[in-house]
Amino acid sequence: MRTRKKKAPAPGRRSPSASRRKRIDSVDIARLVGVARSTVSKALNGYPYIAAGTRERILKAVRAYGYYPNYSAQVLAGKRTTTLGLFFFRAGNFADDVLADFMISSVIENAAALGYHTLAYVVRSPEDDATGRSLMGAFYQRRVAAGIFIGARNREPLIDQLVADGHAVGVFDQRPARRPEPNRAVVNYADVATSRAVIAYLASLGHREIGIIDGDRARYAGMMKHRGFLAGMRANGLPVNESWMRDGDFQSESGYQAMRSLLAANKRLPTAVAAANDNTAFGAMRAMEEFGLRIPEDISIVGVDGHPFCQYARPPLTTFEYDIQAMIRGLVSAVIGIVSGKADPQDLRQVYSARLVERQSCRKISAA
């Protein structure tokens, strides 16, 4: 008896079995296993009251046919997605900032530990209409259950609109609203107290002539750090020399340009510089080196944040270190608490303090 050979599918065409696997849905799985469609749904969503044998047969069929639930359909059916949107406001290149990479990774890991996925967005120009539509669309199309925002301006209209529309939002670095908002978690560093402590530390080393490189004052942290620096100068009876003060934007390049400007414009230099953050300090240190200045013999410098590269700077940078991992953990937990309806009101406003980590970028000087 002659047997016919099966024809191989034409190039570019899927085999019938592949087509069947692609088209299969929960109704087909239910029919194959001999259970109700609702039982398939319950098994895939982890419902506890399903016989172990039934669950195993369902999962075996799912694996064999390559079936995955249609999450778009689930959204239409009113199911909540388990994806968080991470919106990182940044004009520069992420490859230049290890700390930003660390924060993003930390959000992803903490969300995963609580059963959530993370969809990351880089927001270059929030005022751009197309950017705004894309960002808002992630919420209105229910691609994300909530949003975590890092690096935004203090009062960012896009965030305020999302909160007003009832979406769950978590923000790092923003002035808390006067009245509590049940769907907005705000997490900050204790920037005023930390900046005061920076000045007090330098004063304790005998420095009375201190320069300041601020951060971006359109951001809440920038405003609070500036306020803290000035308060620290007043509290320690130190004169504020406007010619030793420069604005930056928290990035290394701005610290470099600010320090070059300060050094070029002044014959008499400060004995120490307080930088808004470690990135700013790294840039300032590069400028000092180009001008032939020694750290800390000629000028001391101190940063804020606890950047992983502080210990590798030349010389290693003294800093006031925040527990970034704890901050991110608190922010992610608060946002997921809002989504699940289990948020503790106290978690909606969190403030984290810093600790001094002394290295070799500051020296003690004798009083003049």
Amino acid at 181: E
Domain range 16-69, CATH class:
mainly alpha
User: Rounded to the nearest 5 degrees, what angle is found at the Cα of 155, between the Cα atoms of 218 and 121?
Assistant: 90
CATH topology of domain 83-188+324-354: Rossmann fold (3.40.50)
pLDDT band of residue 327 (cuts 50, 70, 90) is: very high
d(CA 233, CA 240): 7
Tokens of 195: 């900046």
Confidence at residue 5, expressed as pLDDT on a 0 to 100 scale: 46
Q: What are the residues whose beta carbons fall under 8 Å from the beta carbon of 276, sequence distance 6 or more?
A: 213, 214, 215, 222, 225, 248, 250, 304
User: Rounded to the nearest 5 degrees, what angle is found at the Cα of 52, between the Cα atoms of 50 and 56?
Assistant: 105
Mean pLDDT within 38-65: 80
User: Which range is least confidently modeled, 48-62, 65-79, 212-226, 303-317?
Assistant: 65-79
Residues 295-309: b if buried by 16+ CB within 10 A, e if exposed: bbeebbbbbbbbbee
Mean pLDDT within 122-144: 83
The domain limits of the chain are: 16-69, 83-188+324-354, 191-322
Please state whether beta strands 117-123 and 83-89 pair in parallel, antiparallel, or not at all (unpaired): parallel
Burial of 71 (0-12, 13-18, 19+ CB in 10 A): middle
Q: Report phi then psi at 237, rounded to 5.
A: 65, 35
Q: How many C-beta atoms surround the C-beta of residue 357 within 10 A?
A: 16
> Is the pLDDT confidence value at 81 over 60?
yes
DSSP string, 159-197: HHHHHHTT-EEEEES-PPPSS--TTEEEEEE-HHHHHHH
Mean pLDDT within 359-363: 98
Higher pLDDT pick, 349 / 12: 349
Higher pLDDT pick, 100 / 175: 175
Confidence at residue 128, expressed as pLDDT on a 0 to 100 scale: 79
d(CA 47, CA 56): 13
Domains 83-188+324-354 and 191-322 share a fold: yes
Helix (H) or strand (E) holding 351: strand 349-352
Mean pLDDT within 336-359: 95
Tokens of 348: 């909606």
Mean pLDDT within 197-207: 98
194 bridge partner residues: none
Mean pLDDT within 56-85: 74
Confidence at residue 76, expressed as pLDDT on a 0 to 100 scale: 52
Mean pLDDT within 310-315: 96
pLDDT band of residue 285 (cuts 50, 70, 90) is: very high
184 bridge partner residues: 169
Amino acid at 326: A
d(CA 189, CA 215): 14
d(CA 165, CA 364): 54
Nearest to 330 by CA among 110, 75, 96, 48: 110
Q: What are the residues whose beta carbons fall under 8 Å from the beta carbon of 18, sequence distance 6 or more?
A: none
Confidence at residue 351, expressed as pLDDT on a 0 to 100 scale: 97
pLDDT band of residue 321 (cuts 50, 70, 90) is: very high
Confidence at residue 356, expressed as pLDDT on a 0 to 100 scale: 98
The rounded mean pLDDT for the chain is: 88
Confidence at residue 168, expressed as pLDDT on a 0 to 100 scale: 96
Instruction: Give the percent of the chain with pLDDT over 90.
Output: 63
User: Which range is least confidently modeled, 70-79, 194-203, 356-365?
Assistant: 70-79
> Is the pLDDT confidence value at 4 over 60?
no
> Is the pLDDT confidence value at 152 over 80?
yes
pTM: 0.78
Burial of 14 (0-12, 13-18, 19+ CB in 10 A): exposed
User: Rounded to the nearest 5 degrees, what angle is found at the Cα of 11, between the Cα atoms of 5 and 14?
Assistant: 80
Domain formed by 191-322, architecture:
3-Layer(aba) Sandwich (3.40)
Mean pLDDT within 169-178: 93
Q: Could you tell me if 40 and 33 are in contact, meaning their C-beta atoms sit under 8 angstroms apart?
A: yes
Q: Could you tell me if 120 and 111 are in contact, meaning their C-beta atoms sit under 8 angstroms apart?
A: no
Give the model confidence (pLDDT) of 240-283 as tens digits.
Answer: 999 999 999 999 999 999 999 999 999 999 999 999 999 999 99
pLDDT band of residue 92 (cuts 50, 70, 90) is: low
Nearest to 276 by CA among 212, 352, 361: 212
Q: What are the residues whose beta carbons fall under 8 Å from the beta carbon of 261, sequence distance 6 or more?
A: 246
Tokens of 49: 């009251």
d(CA 109, CA 89): 20
Give the model confidence (pLDDT) of 96-121 as tens digits.
Answer: 678 888 899 999 999 999 999 999 98
